[in-house]
Chains A and B, each alone.
With several copies, the nearest count.
Chain A
Amino acid sequence: MKKIINDPKRVVEESVAGFGRAHADLVRVELEPVHVVRADAPIAGKVGLVSGGGSGHEPLHAGYVGFGMLDAAVPGAVFTSPTPDPILAATKAVDGGAGVLHIVKNYTGDVLNFETAAELAAMDGITVRAVVTDDDVAVKDSLYTAGRRGVAGTVLVEKIAGAAAERGDSLDEVADIAERVNANARSMGLALTACVVPHAGEPSFDIGDDEIEIGIGIHGEPGRERVGLEPADRLVDRLLEPILSDLPYGEGDRVLLFVNGMGGTPQVELYLAYRRADEVLRERGITVERSLVGNYITALEMQGMSITLLKLDDEMIELWDAPVQTAALRWGR
């Protein structure tokens, strides 16, 4: 295992400390327990947004703490959802009296730990609502699974709900728009390589030099299916087909097209994939109103990508375009 790290057990702590120093204008970093808080939190009268989960998905979530997006992020150990204590600490730190929204990716561990933290926060008199994101169409949402995973759609939920909170929406309003974004977002990913979790020291799965995993998550889990090498256009089609038919998205829809890198795939490939995705959508009469291309939710150094479609309405567009000032997403100020 080759990584730019010191002690594998201190990776998250040291990295978050570095993040805090690099972005001292945006955030305050607490190390016991580990959480990252917007520099000017709590903001009186504003709904506080807290998200978190295992580390290794950077810039998610700490990279989205700041004006117009999250008030706090809670990074757990690599690929391990945080415990309730730091979630509680973050929730307290951002409560400005208008309540706190927990944005939770749908994994058993995240859901359970955020649940416990919410119960504890309630005991401290803080009103908490939770929105669970589950946009990954690679997983069947049925009684026979833990339900769909929350993946790249989470970034869009955080941005749009964050803008709603920033303009002064109430907790219920912010939660409702977060739910609406999640309900209109669908994602699917693939991987060319596995990733190496520092404490594990070996690749998260074995994959041949001529194989691609389709339907992977963001934790180095193997996917649903393995295929041989294929041209990019075909791979994009493989991701888009199940997404398009799921919501479904169709003629006349306006969408945000999000091509996300898993961490180890160069931009040149992401934009090449974007080109095909854009082409397919045009052919179907779907209008790409907004786009996002880059490494926004990753699985360490995994090579691969995901595609997310978000069906937009006017309010979502307005909130998407609203100013945001975070380490990883910034415009309008």
Chain B
Amino acid sequence: MGLDITWAVDWVRRSADVIAEHRVELIRLDRDIGDGDHGENLDRGFTAVVPKLDDLAAGSTPGDVLKLVAMTLISTVGGAAGPLYGTAYLKAAAAAGSESSLDGEAVARILAAARDGIVARGKAESGDKTMIDAWTPAVDAAAAAAASGADATAVLAAAADAAEAGAVATEPLVARKGRASYLGERSVGHRDPGAQSTALLLRAAADAASESTGA
């Protein structure tokens, strides 16, 4: 059973909730190796998205929701995360096209498009201690799950698990992109805030899916 507009809307609402809930944690992570605004920035962005969901036209697709998120994040978040997440959602929306229901394959494709968008804008490679280090394992896990015939919900669950592991795995890394790179060796031992928020957002996607499909 595919994921539809209800899932997409629920994902956004859950995203807003989870980011608000983890706002201080993300601020603290960013404070340690950055400038302490990541939680505030994302919270401002997702708080701005939620009321706009009501304006979605009847017959909107998941792609429309993703595009709405993209445009809102781009115009409210700022910082590095605003354009990077904005691009991610924009590319995801393009990959989703006008399909009204997304199966496991589609979800894997969408996640890959999102990740590729971030790489295109931010030029980070795996191991640079950025959100990419959560996204790439997630994309890989999603692709593997989809290839083995998993449904959309299972694909997202695999992606969320991998993103969480990826976020944890940023801790020993030396940052080479973003603000944390200014710290050099001193960035070691801290989790990347963008990787952590990626894990939170993908977990919200998985939760929304398992709810919507009753799994």
Give A contacts to B, CB under 8 Å: 54, 76-85, 107-109, 112-113, 115-116, 138-140, 143-146, 149, 197, 199-200, 202, 204-205, 217, 219-222, 224
Contacts and interface: CB of A to CB of B under 8 A. Distances in A.
Interface string B177-207: 1110111101000000000000000000000
Contacts of B186: 222, 224
Contacts of A224: 182-184, 186
A108 B37 contact: no
Interface of B: 27, 31-37, 40-41, 44, 74-84, 121-122, 174, 176-179, 181-184, 186
Contact of B78 (A82, A115, A138, A220): A82
- Shortest 8 CB-CB contacts between residues of A and residues of B: A112-B83, A219-B35, A109-B79, A109-B80, A108-B80, A145-B181, A80-B79, A199-B40
A200 B40 contact: yes
B123 to A, nearest CB: 9
23 contacts: A77-B40, A77-B44, A79-B37, A80-B78, A81-B78, A81-B82, A83-B74, A83-B77, A108-B177, A109-B78, A109-B80, A112-B122, A139-B181, A140-B184, A143-B176, A144-B181, A199-B37, A200-B27, A200-B31, A202-B31, A221-B34, A224-B183, A224-B184
Contacts of A202: 31
Contacts of B34: 219, 221
B78 A83 contact: yes
Contact of B182 (A77, A109, A138, A205): A138
Main secondary structure of the interface of A (DSSP, over half): loop
B176 A145 contact: yes
Contact of A200 (B37, B83, B178, B181): B37
B177 A146 contact: yes
A77 B78 contact: yes
Given A112-B83, A112-B121, A113-B82, A217 B37 contact: no
Contacts of B176: 143-145
A113 B85 CA distance: 12
A78 B182 contact: no
B25 to A, nearest CB: 12
A85 B73 CA distance: 12
Contact of A146 (B41, B75, B76, B178): B178
Contact of B35 (A139, A140, A220): A220
A169 to B, nearest CB: 31
Nearest to A53: B78
- Max count, chain A CB within 10 A of own CB: residue among B77, B79, B121, B179: B79
A140 B183 CA distance: 10
Given A107-B80, A139-B182, 19 more contacts: A54-B37, A54-B79, A76-B79, A79-B36, A80-B37, A81-B78, A82-B78, A109-B79, A109-B81, A112-B121, A113-B78, A199-B37, A199-B40, A200-B37, A202-B31, A204-B36, A220-B36, A222-B183, A222-B186
A148 B48 CA distance: 33
Contact of A79 (B33, B35, B181, B184): B35
A135 B128 CA distance: 23
A291 to B, nearest CB: 28
Contacts of B83: 84, 109, 112-113, 115-116
